[in-house]
Amino acid sequence: MKTFTLGGIHPKGNKLSAQAPIEIFPIPEKVYIMVTQHLGAPSTVIVNKGDRVKVGTLVAKADAFICANVHSSVSGIVEKIDEINDASGYRKSTIIIKVENDEWEENIDRSTNLNRECKLNSKEIVQRIKDSGIVGLGGATFPTHVKYMVPEGKKADFLIINGVECEPYLTSDHAIMLEKAEEIMIGIEILMKALGSKKAMIGIEKNKPDAIKKMQEIASKYNKIEIYPLKVKYPQGAEKQLIKALTGREVPSGKLPIEVGCVVNNIGTALAVYEAVQKNKPLIERVVTVSGKSVKKPSNLRVRIGTPCQLLIDHAGGIPEDTGKIISGGPMMGKALRSPEMPVTKGTSGILLMTEKESKREASSMCIRCAKCVNACPMGLEPYLLQMYVESLRFEDAENHKIMDCIECGSCQYTCPANRELLDYIRVGKSKVGAMMRSRTRK
Amino acid sequence: MKLLTISGSPHIHGGHSVKKLMRGVIVAMMPALLVSFYYFGLSAFIVTMVSVFACMFFEWFIQKFIMKVPTSITDGSAMVTGILLAFNVPSNLPIWIILIGALVSIGIGKMTYGGLGKNPFNPALVGRVFLLISFPVQMTTWPKSGLPFSTLSFDGLTGPTPLGILKGGLSQGETVNQVMSNVDMPRYADLLYGQMGGSLGEVSAIALIIGGLFLIFRKVITWHIPVAFIGTSFIFASILHMVNPELYVDPFFHLITGGLMLGAFFMATDLVTSPMSKTGQLVFGVGCGLLTILIRVWGAYPEGVSFAILLMNATTPLINNAFKPKQFGKAIKLKA
Ligand code: SF4
Ligand code: SF4
C-alpha cells in the first residue's frame, strides 16, 4: 500500500463523526459573508446596503488573477457592510445579509437528478469554475480555476483527488464520499476534461474502508479514474506528500505541482465543480464537521456559507462546560478562534471544541537534540535548527536551511519531547524570510 | 462566555516527554543492572546507588545554588547518567572515587555547558575517563565475577578483564591461541552471559542487547548508531583476524568483551551528543567502531570504547553540518 516516504506522524484519528450522515443545516436569520474567503488578492464588493439578493447572486467580484467570486448564500436584504474578525483575528470586510425566504437565482438547477453529460469545452469549464467562486475546500482555499490554467509548455499527466482527510476529527470529505460518490466522479471527469489529463487518481487513507469500497464501486464505471487506498500517515493530505505517495514524483522546492505534471484538488472541490458546471450552482454551501471529545452530538452539517459557527455548535449540543479552545479546521493545522461568532467560510472544514485540558500546552524545556523533529518532518527539514535560527534572528541561515519549504504541518512540534514551540518560531521566521525575499526581488 | 485559549497550531501533542524518554532508557538498563547485581552482589548495588544519588544531588545543588535555575532532576537524565557511570566502573571502586566521578560527570560534563541538551560530551563518559586517568589503579582492579553473590565485600578476589588478559599476553609475545588457553581467560559462553571481570554494566552482552532492542523498539533510539558501531567493529576486526590470526583475535571476542555492547547501545546513542540525521548517525557509528578497534589493538589501553565515543562526540557538530537529512523535492523522477 502506498504512502509518502519522508517523515510523518500517527496522531489518533478521533473520527467521532465518521458515522454521522450529512444533515442539512437550517438557514439562519442572518449570514455574515466575508468578502475575501480565499488565498490571494481581495475581491471587490458589488452590492450596497439595502440591496435585495437571491441565493447565488454575485456579491463580490474577483478582479485579480488569483482571486475568487463570492455569492450570496441566502435570499434577503443587505443589512450592512462591516468589518469582523476572521479566523486569524484580523478585521475583514464582511457583507451582512438579513434572510427573507429562500429564493434562488433562476438559472440554478435545484433538482437532484444526476446530470452526467458535460457539453462545455475545456475553456468554458474553467470559466464556469471561476464564475462560481470555487476555491480549494480542503482548507487552503486557493482559487481552483488558477490550477486549471496550465502554463505554456507544461502538461498535466495526472489529476489527483485528495480524499485523504488526514487531520484528526474531520470527517466532512468522508461523509461526502459516502453520499455523493456519483457526483464526485462526474466532477472529476469534468476536471479531467478541463486539464486534458489521461488519468485521475483518488487517494483515500485505509481508515475509511466504507468510503474506499463505495468509491471503488462507483469508479469501476469510469475507466480513467482509479482509487488508491493509502497507509494512514499524517500529513498525507498535504499536496506534495500526496503526489509523492501516489506517483512517486517530488515537487521541487518552491515549485507548484504542475512542475511534475500533477494538479491536486480535494474531494469537496470535485463535488463543487460538479454542481457549478452541471447545475450552475455557485459555491454557497459546504459540509462542516462539528466535533470534539466533549461534544454531545458530533455531526457533519451542510451549511450555507456565512452561518455563524455558534449556531452549528448549538446544533451539536452546545458548547460543553469544559471547552478551552475552539478551532476552525483540524487540530494539526486549524486556527484557534477568538469567539464562536465567526462565520463559516469556504475554507471551514470543521469546528473543533477542545477540552480545557487539551488546550493547555506543557511547559517547554531545552532541546535535547533527540532528532525526533527531524525524523518527523515530511519536508526533510531540521525544525530544531530553524527554531534556533529564528530565535537568534539569523534569518539568512534560516532561509539557507529552506525554512520556506515548511508546509506548517506541525509534525515537528507534535513529536517534540521537550514541548518546544517549533512551529510558532518557524512561522515567524517564514514571514520574515518571505519579506526579505520580496524586498530583494523588488530591488 | 469564558475566555478561550488562542495559540498557533498544532493544537494536539503526541505526549512524548523528556521524562518518558529517560524512563525508557532506565527500563532498558535494568537487565544489565540485574545481571551486575547477580555477578557482583551487594557491592554492585552500593556502587549504583551511590552513583545515582550523587549525580542527582549534584545536579540539584548546582542548579539551585550556583546556576539559580529551576531544577530538572525530575526529568530522569541525572539518574541515567548515574547508572551509566556506575556501569562503567569496577564494582569494588571506593565510594569517594565514585563521588568524584559523579561530580565530574554532572558538574563538568553537563552543567558547565548549561545543562541537558547543551553538553557536547556524554557526561557519564567524561566522568569515567576522568577517573580512569586520575585513579588508574582503582579503576582497573576488577573483582572476579566467578561465583554469583561471592563478593559481598569490597575485598574479594580481583582479576583482569578479558581484554586486559589479551593485551597483556600479546605484549609478552604470546600468540592469540596461547592467550586464549590462559587459565584466567573465560570461555565464550561465559563471556556472553557476563561471567568475566569488568565494569559493572558491561559484562553481559546478552542483557545489553535485550535492553538495546527495547530502546529501538520503543523508538528512544534508532538502529543506525548501534548497527554501524557494532558492524564496523566486526568488519574491521575480521579483516585484521584474516590478515594474521596469530596476532589479532577473532571478531566475536571483540564484540562480546569490554564495553562494546554497552557503548554501542547506551552511550554512543546518547541523544544529546550524537548526530541528528540518519546518515550522520551512520558515520558516527562507523567512526566509533573504527576508533574502538584501533585503540584496542594498537593503543596503550586494552579498552577503547569510551575514548572512541568521546572523540566522536567532539565531531558531532561537524557531522551535523556535513550530513543533512534528505530533503524533499531534491530528486525529481519523472516516470509517465
Ligand atoms: S511544520 Fe514545517 S518544519 Fe515542522 S514538520 Fe511540518 S514541514 Fe517540517
Ligand atoms: S524534537 Fe524537540 S527536543 Fe528533539 S531535537 Fe527536535 S526540538 Fe530538540
Is residue A400 one of the residues assigned to a domain? yes
Q: Which of A362, A387, A420, A424 to mutate to test the pocket of ligand 2 (most atoms within 8 A of CB)?
A: A420
* A138 and A79 assigned to the same domain: no
* Structural domain includes residue A5: no
User: Which pairing describes strands A70-71 and A30-34: parallel, antiparallel, or unpaired?
Assistant: unpaired
For position B157, what pLDDT does the model report? 55
Atom of ligand 1 nearest to the CA of A383: 3
Tell me the best of A368, A401, A414, A421 to mutate to test the pocket of ligand 2, counting ligand atoms within 8 Å of each CB and taking the most: A368
- Å from CA of A387 to ligand 2 middle: 10
Q: Does residue A116 sit within a domain?
A: no
Closest to A81 (Cα-Cα) out of A94, A90, A97, A62: A94
Name the residue facing B118 among A359, A366, A378 (closest C-beta).
A366
Query: Quick one: pLDDT at residue B144?
Result: 62
Q: Tell me, yes or no, whether A7 lies in a domain.
A: no
Q: Which residue has the cell 576486526?
A: B237
Tell me which residue has its CA closest to atom 2 in ligand 2.
A416
Contact status, residue A253 vs residue A147, Cβ threshold 8 Å: no
Whose atoms come closest to the Cα of A364: which ligand?
Answer: 2
Residues A189 and A230 in one domain: yes
Q: Name which of A399, A162, A147 is nearest A259 in CA terms.
A: A147
Among the partner residues A331, A339, A384, nearest to B11 by beta-carbon distance: A331
The enclosing domain of A306 has a CATH number of: 3.10.20.600
Cβ distance A375 to B222 less than 8 Å, yes or no, reads: yes
What are the residue ranges of helices labelled H in A157-266? 172-179, 181-195, 209-219, 239-247
Query: What's the pLDDT score for residue A338?
Result: 87
Residue A241 and residue A164 share a domain = yes
Which residue, A359, A383, A414, sits at the end of a domain?
A359
Domain residue ranges of chain B, discontinuous segments joined by +: 18-139, 159-322
Indicate whether A13 belongs to any domain: no
Same domain (yes/no): A87, A157: no
Shortest Cα distance from A129 to chain B (angstroms)?
A: 28
* Distance between A322 CA and the closest CA of chain B, angstroms: 10
**Do A294 and A271 fall into the same domain?**
no
Q: How many domains does chain A have?
A: 4
Question: Cell triple for residue B8?
Answer: 498557533
Cβ atoms of A84 and A310 within 8 Å: the answer is no
Q: Are A256 and A249 spatial neighbours (Cβ–Cβ below 8 Å)?
A: no
Check residue B194 and give its pLDDT: 66
Residues A273 and A156 in one domain: yes
The SS3 call for residue B287 is helix
SS3 A290: strand
Q: Are A146 and A317 in contact (CB under 8 A)?
A: no
**Same domain for A380 and A319?**
no
Q: How far lies B97's CA from each of B122, B268, B328, in Å? A: 19, 24, 51
Give A357: exposed, middle or buried? Use CB within 10 Å, 0-12, 13-18, 19+: exposed
What span, in angstroms and rounded, lies between the C-alpha atoms of B140 and A30? Answer: 84
Q: Has residue A235 been placed in a domain?
A: yes
Interface contact A370, partner B, CB < 8 A: yes
Closest C-alpha to ligand 1, atom 5: A377
Q: Are A225 and A309 contained in the same domain? A: no
- Protein residues with CB under 6 Å of any ligand 1 atom: A 376-379, 381, 383, 406-412, 423, 426
pLDDT tens-digit readout, A324-383:
999 999 999 999 998 888 999 999 999 999 998 888 888 899 999 999 999 999 999 999
Ligand 2 neighbours, Cβ below 6 Å, are A 367-373, 383-384, 415-418, 420, 422
* Domain limit, last residue, from A52, A84, A99: A99
* A83/A173 same-domain check: no
CATH number at residue A64: 2.40.50
Whole-angstrom distance, CA of residue A282 vs CA of residue A145:
13
DSSP strand pairing (A44-45 vs A22-24): unpaired
B15 touches chain A (CB under 8 A): no
Q: Is A220 part of any domain?
A: yes
Segment holding A201, helix H or strand E: strand A199-205
Please name the amino acid found at residue A394. Answer: R
Q: What CATH number is attached to the domain comprising A131?
A: 3.40.50.11540
Flag whether residue B3 sits within 8 Å of chain A, measured between CB atoms. Answer: no
Per the structure, the complete domain to which residue A295 belongs is given by 286-359
Verify that A130 and A270 share a domain, yes or no. Answer: yes
Cis peptide before B325 (omega within 30 of 0): no
Whether residue A228 is found in the same domain as residue A128 = yes
Q: Tens-digit pLDDT profile for chain B (336 aa)?
A: 567 888 888 999 998 999 999 999 999 999 999 988 888 888 889 999 999 999 999 999 999 999 888 888 888 999 999 999 999 998 888 999 999 999 999 999 999 998 888 999 999 999 999 999 999 888 887 776 544 444 444 444 566 778 887 887 787 777 887 777 776 777 776 776 666 777 888 878 889 999 999 999 999 999 999 999 999 999 999 999 999 888 888 888 888 888 899 999 999 999 999 999 999 999 999 999 999 999 998 888 888 899 999 999 999 999 999 999 988 986 544 444
Helix H or strand E segment including B126: helix B123-134
Return the bridge partners of A23, or none. A301
Residue with CA at minimum distance from ligand 2 atom 1? A416
Of A199, A206, A201, give the one whose Cα is nearest residue A229: A206
CA distance A151 to chain B (A): 18
SS3 of A400-430:
HCCHHHCCCCCHHHHHCCCCCCHHHHHHHHH
Interaxial angle between packed helices B123-134 and B95-103, expressed in degrees from 0 to 180 and rounded to the nearest 10: 130
Give the residue, by CA position, lying nearest to ligand 1 atom 4. A412
Residues A131 and A224 in one domain: yes
pLDDT of B70: 86
Pick the last residue of a domain from A46, A65, A99. Answer: A99
B81 and B130 Cβ atoms separated by less than 8 Å: no
Q: Which of A249, A360, A368 sits opposite B332 (nearest CB)?
A: A249
- How much is the ipTM here? 0.87
- pTM listed for this prediction: 0.89
pLDDT at residue B38 in the model: 85
Query: Angle at CA A247, nearest 5°, toward A241 and A251?
Result: 50
C-alpha cell at A234: 499524517
Identify the segments of chain A with pLDDT beneath 50. none
Res A391: pLDDT? 95
Q: Which residues pair with A304 in a beta bridge?
A: A285
**Angle at A375 (CA atoms; ends A371, A381), nearest 5 degrees:** 90
Q: Is residue A42 within 8 Å of A72, Cβ to Cβ?
A: no
